[in-house]
């Protein structure tokens, strides 16, 4: 087929694939993205590990369903080349695998450039979404994630019933820690507390850095026995941390407050209740040594 006869087919493919990508971007659907990939991967019959008899060491492109190694392991993605084979080239365009697969005619090359652009946009989209929903210091979900997630949870509960417990957790004497040792040390303690909390919860629980030195745990278990067991695990892990890292003038401790949400309540009231309980616990922690008080109930 002549080049001028191929152009309508190329433009028709571009139109369909770009329309699919626009739909993907609007829906942010992983299933839509997989459908799009399944269409474009049919165009690539050359496999770099087969053509080059690659030793497959540390190469993410090996046996990848995508087939476009230049998007995964080479310099086309704008990252450092991964794998021995990819590291031989300054650019994937210089590689004979890319040339044989892509540079067959100008229209195919234009199409591949658009595929690369779409793939890069998707990566950037996911990166921005991850940054928007995660706390960069601790790696936990952040307040943005909580605000979106809690709306979805409330809709489910209002429709189907049930509920969840909100735990508010705050680091005691965190201002003293920052003032005494500096904010870099304080950041390190925040990461340590995040790690302690992650070790203390179940896989189904949600852990969020709500802001500053305050964390939230969402638990869907209706039994309070599980709640007590979780707090016991947190306390035990904090005690172990203090045994290894605590000092004479600072011992890590946290204050806790909990409240239960169901369809008859407003989430703002539940958060306020959990926050109030946390401050009662914090006040007890301040006076415990001097007055020997029991924890508030």
| 243-271 residues labelled b (16+ CB within 10 A) or e (exposed) | eeeeeeebebbbbbbbbbbeeeeeeeebb
Mean pLDDT rounded to a whole number for the chain = 81
Q: Assess contact for 218 and 165: CB atoms under 8 A.
A: yes
Instruction: Tell me the C-alpha distance between 32 and 182, whole Å.
Output: 47
54 pLDDT more than 90: no
Q: Assess contact for 209 and 140: CB atoms under 8 A.
A: yes
| Count of all residues that appear for the chain in the document | 297
Instruction: Tell me the C-alpha distance between 259 and 166, whole Å.
Output: 5
- The tokens of 88 are what? 């031989």
Per-residue model confidence as pLDDT tens digits over 225-271: 668 889 999 999 999 999 998 888 888 999 999 999 999 999 999 99
Query: Which of 21-25, 68-72, 198-202 has the highest average model confidence (pLDDT)?
Result: 198-202
The angle subtended at Cα 139 by Cα 213 and Cα 79, nearest 5°, is: 145
- The tokens of 67 are what? 């087939």
pTM of the model: 0.67
265 DSSP assignment: S
Q: How many CB atoms lie within 10 A of CB 227?
A: 18
Instruction: Tell me the C-alpha distance between 201 and 217, whole Å.
Output: 8
In this prediction, residue 206 carries a pLDDT of: 95
* Cα within 13 Å of Cα(297), Cβ side: 1
**CATH class of the domain comprising 143-291:** alpha beta
Q: Mean pLDDT throughout 206-225?
A: 88
Instruction: Tell me the C-alpha distance between 38 and 52, whole Å.
Output: 24
Q: Which residues contact 229 (CB under 8 A, 6 or more apart)?
A: none
Q: Where are the domains of the chain?
A: 3-133, 143-291
Q: 3-class SS at 293?
A: coil
In this prediction, residue 41 carries a pLDDT of: 63
Task: Name the β-bridge partners of 256.
Answer: 169
Instruction: Tell me the C-alpha distance between 192 and 189, whole Å.
Output: 5
């Amino acid at each position: 087929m002549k080049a001028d006869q191929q152009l309508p087919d190329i433009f028709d493919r571009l139109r369909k694939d770009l329309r699919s990508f626009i739909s993907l971007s609007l829906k942010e659907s992983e299933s839509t993205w997989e459908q799009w990939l399944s269409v474009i991967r049919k165009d690539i019959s050359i496999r770099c590990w087969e053509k080059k008899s690659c030793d497959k060491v540390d190469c993410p492109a090996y046996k990848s369903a995508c087939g476009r190694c230049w998007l995964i392991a080479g310099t086309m993605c704008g990252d450092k080349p991964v794998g021995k084979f990819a590291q031989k080239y300054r650019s994937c365009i210089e590689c004979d695998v890319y040339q044989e697969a892509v540079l067959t005619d100008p229209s195919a090359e234009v199409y591949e450039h658009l595929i690369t652009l779409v793939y890069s946009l998707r990566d950037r989209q996911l990166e921005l979404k991850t940054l928007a929903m995660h706390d960069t210091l601790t790696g936990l979900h952040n307040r943005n994630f909580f605000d979106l997630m809690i709306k979805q949870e409330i809709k489910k509960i209002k429709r189907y019933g049930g509920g969840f417990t909100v735990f508010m957790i705050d680091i005691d004497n965190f201002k003293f820690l920052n003032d005494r040792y500096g904010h870099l040390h304080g950041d390190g303690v925040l990461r340590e507390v995040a790690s302690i909390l992650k070790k203390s919860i179940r896989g189904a629980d949600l852990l969020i850095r709500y802001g500053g030195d305050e964390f939230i745990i969402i638990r869907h278990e209706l039994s309070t026995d599980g709640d007590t067991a979780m707090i016991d695990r947190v306390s035990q892990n904090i005690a172990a941390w203090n045994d290894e890292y605590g000092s004479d003038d600072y011992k890590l401790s946290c204050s806790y407050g909990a409240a239960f949400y169901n369809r008859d309540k407003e989430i703002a009231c539940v958060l306020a209740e959990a926050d109030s309980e946390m401050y009662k616990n914090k006040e007890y922690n301040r006076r415990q040594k001097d007055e020997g008080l029991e924890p508030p109930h």
